Structure 1
Amino acid sequence: MESPDFQRHLADILNWHFSPDTGSPFWLSMRSQFDFDPVKDVRSLADLSLFPDISQLLREIAIEDLQPKGLADYRLAGIFESGGTTGTAKRVVAYEEWLEQVVSWRLEGFETSTDKTPKNTLAIIPTGPHIVGAINRRRARAFGGQCFTVDLDPRWVKKLIQAGNMEGARDYSDHLIDQAEPIIATQAIKYLIATPPLLEAIARRRSLAETLNSTLEMITWGGTHMDVDTLDYLKTMVFPDVPITASYGSTMILSETKARINQDYNGSPIFDSYAPYVILEVVDPESEKPVEYNGRGQVVMNHLSRFAFFPNIFERDTAVRLPTLGNCPGSSVSDVKPVARVSGKAVIEGVY
C-alpha cells in the first residue's frame, strides 16, 4: 500500500499537468488520445504504466510545447539533449529551481568546504546540450569552487565504435586526457568527475594518476557502466587515497541518482533516486511487471514534478532491483548495465 503522502503528490502532479491553466501544450493535447482519464484513473505508481513511453516523441516536439503554462514566470536553465545512443537526440527543458533542488539533494550527507582554499572541480564529461554538465557546474559552486571542463563530444566516439574504429575511439579518449592534464597541473582541482573509460585512460598515465591520488578529495564516476573488477582496481591500485563515489542519471528524469554512502551490492554502488519527484522501477521487459528484489530487469524511470512529467520511460539499462530507503514506492538499483538493443538499434556507450 503506497503512502498517503505519495498518493497526494501524484494526484497534485496529475492535476497540474492536465489542467488547462497549468499544463503544457504537449500533455494537454495528448490527453485526448488516451483511453483513460489521467486525473481520475491514475492513483498509484503501477497506474503510471497506463501512459505510453513518450520518449521517442521528444526527438521532434517543439520545446515550447513541453513548458507548463503554470511556470511561465520561472527561469529556464536550458534546453538539454540525450546522448543520442539509440538515434536522434531527445530534447527536454529544465528550470533553474529544479536544478537547484537536485543539487541540494545530491549534496546531502557531504561536507562542503568552509575555508577559503579553492576546491575546484574538473568534469571530464559531456557539457553542451547535456544536462549532466549543468548539474555539475552548480555542484562545483556548492562545493566551494569553479568547474573546469573538457571539450567532449560523446556522439563522435559512438560513431567511431559503430564503424569498428576502436583505435580511433581510444585516440579520442587520449585526446580528452591531453586536454585535462594542463588543468590538473595548474589549477587547484579537488573533485574529479569522469566516466569509467576516461578513468581507465587516466590510469594508463601513471604519473598523472599519482598526482591525482595525492591531490584529490573525491572522484565521482558515471555515464557508462563499470564492472566490479575495474572499480576495485581503481580503488585499490590507482586511487587508494581518494574516496570514489558514483552517480547514475538520465536526461529523461532531468537529474541524477546518488550512490549510498558506505553501502554496496556485491561491490557495486546502490543508487537511490530523488523521491517522490523521481521514481525508478525494475521490470520484466515482457510482462512490464516489477521483478523480484535482487532480480535483474529493465529500468523504468518516472519524473513527477511540476517542472516536467515523464512517466513510464523505459531506459536503455538493466539493473538489479533493491528496496528503497524511504517510504516512497519504486526501487533502488545496482549493477547497472546497458541493454543490447533499443528499438532495433544497437546500444553503444563509448565514453558516455
Structure 2
Amino acid sequence: MSKDVPVPFTADLSPDEFVQAAMEWHFSPDTGSPFWVKRAAELPFDPLRDIRTWADLDLFPDVSEEWRDVPVDTLVPVGIDKNDWDFRVFDSGGTTGRPKRIVESRSRREGVQWVSTVLDEHKVPGVGDGHWLHIGPTGPHIVGRSIGLLAQLRQTFCHYIDFDPRWVKQRAKQQQTNDVAQYVQHVLDQALDVLRTQPVSVLFATPPILEAISDRDDILDLVQNRVRGIIWAGTSISPETLHVLETELFPNAAVVGLYGNTMMGIAPQRPGAVGPDGQPCVFIPHYPYSRVRLVDPEETTRDVAYGERGQARISLISRDLLLPWTLERDSALCIEPTSAYPQDGVADVRPLTSGNAPSVVEGVY
C-alpha cells in the first residue's frame, strides 16, 4: 500500500478517500484477496486508477452470483495478520436459489457494536437486564451469531431456537402449507419452554413467527408480560401489521426492525419519532461501510428520487470483504438522510414484483 494512502476502513475518512483506500487494500497483491487480485487483471478498467468515488463502483460487474461456487479461501485478504486470523464462513438464506457464501473476520462484529448503540436509543433492555431469545436461523446463517453478539454486549445470555429457513421455503414452494404450519408450532413449543423457565426480556423473531405467537395464548401471555424488547427481521411486513404489533399486541415492548442480509450486513430501524419523510420505520445502513441504493428496476444504474420506490442495490466495503454492488430481490422507498444518519435510508421493504424479478418465497425467514 502506498505510504500516502490513509489507513483503510476508518469512518473518519471522507467518502471518496474511503473508497480509494479500499481499492488500495483489496487490489494490492500484498493485501488483497486472491479473488480480487486475479479479477483485477480481467477487468476493462484499473481499480486503483479509475475507482475514485462510490459512483465509480458502477464500473464493476455484479460478482455475487459467483459466490455460490467460489472457494471461500480465495475471498480472504492476504493482508490480514495471521495472528489476527479469525475468519468464519456464512451462507445466505437461499431465497433466490443456492446459497451464496461470504467470509467475515471482524468487520461485521464492529457493525453489530454500532447496531447495539442504536438499540439503546430505542430503549431495548440494556446491560444485565434479562436474557435474550433468538427464534431464527443459526448454523451457517450470520443472523444467529449477530443476535448472540448483541446479547453478549449486554452481558447476558442468548437462548437459541434454531430453524432451517431453506427447508421451510422448499415446503412452501411445493405448497405443503400443513408441513410449514406444523414446523412453526414445533418451533413455538420450544420457545414456550424457554419463556416459562428463563428471564427473557428481549425476543428476536421474524414477522411470521410473531404472527404465530399472537395466535397462541400460552406464548402470547408470556411475551406480553415479560418481554420488553422485540426485534424483528427476515421477511417483509406490511405497515398495517407492524402497527398492530407495536400498538395492540406488544404495546409494552420496544419493537425494532432490522433490514439486511448476508451480503450487506444489518441496517437497524432509525430511532426517534416519525421524520419529515412520514415513514414510521426507516432502516439505516452502517455508514460508511454499507450502502443501499434504490434504483429503477429497468435501468439499474439510475437512482430513484427520495420518496420513490426502487429496487435495492447494495454495496459493502470492509477490510474483510469487498462487494462493489449487487442487486437484491427487494423493493423499497428511498429515504433522505438526516443529520444523525448521513446516508440514504430505506422504508416499506417488500419483495420485488417487476417482470424480471427473481421468484421469491419468503417462508418464515
Shift of 1:263: 3.6
Distance (whole Å) between structure 2 residues aligned to residue 322 and residue 252 of structure 1: 21
Scaled by the length of structure 2, the TM-score of the pair is 0.90
Match of 2:292 in 1: 280
Q: 1:196 aligns with which of 207, 216, 240?
A: 207
Does the 8 A contact of 2:329 with 2:358 survive in 1? no
Indicate conservation of the 8 Å contact 1:45/1:329, yes or no. Answer: no
Counterparts in 2 of 1:216 and 1:344: CA distance versus 1, 3 Å? closer
1:32 offset after TM fit, Å?
Answer: 1.5
Show structure 2 runs of 5+ residues with no match: 1-11
Which residue among 153, 161, 164 is the counterpart of 1:153?
164
Match of 2:40 among 4, 13, 31: 31
Of 180-189 and 44-53, the range deviating more from structure 2: 44-53
Structure 1 residue 233: Cα displacement: 1.2
How far apart are residue 340 of structure 1 and its match?
3.7
Alignment of 1:14-25 (within 5 A): 14-25=23-34
Aligned partner of 1:331 in structure 2 is 344
User: 8 Å contact 1:279–1:329 — kept in the other structure?
Assistant: no
Q: Which amino acid aligns with 2:329?
A: R
Q: What is the root-mean-square deviation in Å for CA atoms of aligned residues?
A: 2.0
- Which residue of 1 is the match for residue 22 of structure 2? 13
Cα deviation, residue 324, structure 1: 2.1
Q: Does the Cα contact within 8 Å between 2:15 and 2:54 map onto a contact in 1?
A: no
The correspondence of residues 72-221 of structure 1 with structure 2, limited to 5 A, is 72-73=81-82, 74-95=84-105, 97-109=106-118, 110=120, 113-114=126-127, 119-221=130-232
Residue 328 to residue 61, structure 1, CA distance change in 2 (3 Å)? farther
3-state SS, counterpart of residue 302 of structure 1:
strand
> Runs (4+) of structure 1 moved beyond 4 Å?
264-268, 326-330, 341-345
Given the superposition, is the C-alpha separation of residues 195 and 77 from structure 1 closer, same or farther in structure 2, using an over 3 Å criterion?
farther
Query: What count of residue pairs does the alignment treat as equivalent?
Result: 346
Instruction: Name the structure 2 match of 1:49.
Output: 58
SS where residue 79 of structure 2 aligns? helix
Structure 1 residue 238, shift from structure 2 partner: 1.3
Name the aligned partner's letter for residue 170 of structure 1: A
TM-score by length of structure 1 reads: 0.93
Q: Deviations over 1:161-210 (max 9, x none)?
A: 10011222122111111111100100111110000000001000123212
- Offset at residue 280 of structure 1 (A): 1.2
Gaps of 5+ in 1: none
Instruction: Name the aligned partner's letter for residue 272 of structure 2.
Output: N
C-alpha spacing 1:230/1:321, structure 2 compared with 1 (3 Å): same
Partner of 1:261: 271
Distance 1:209 1:101 in 2: 34
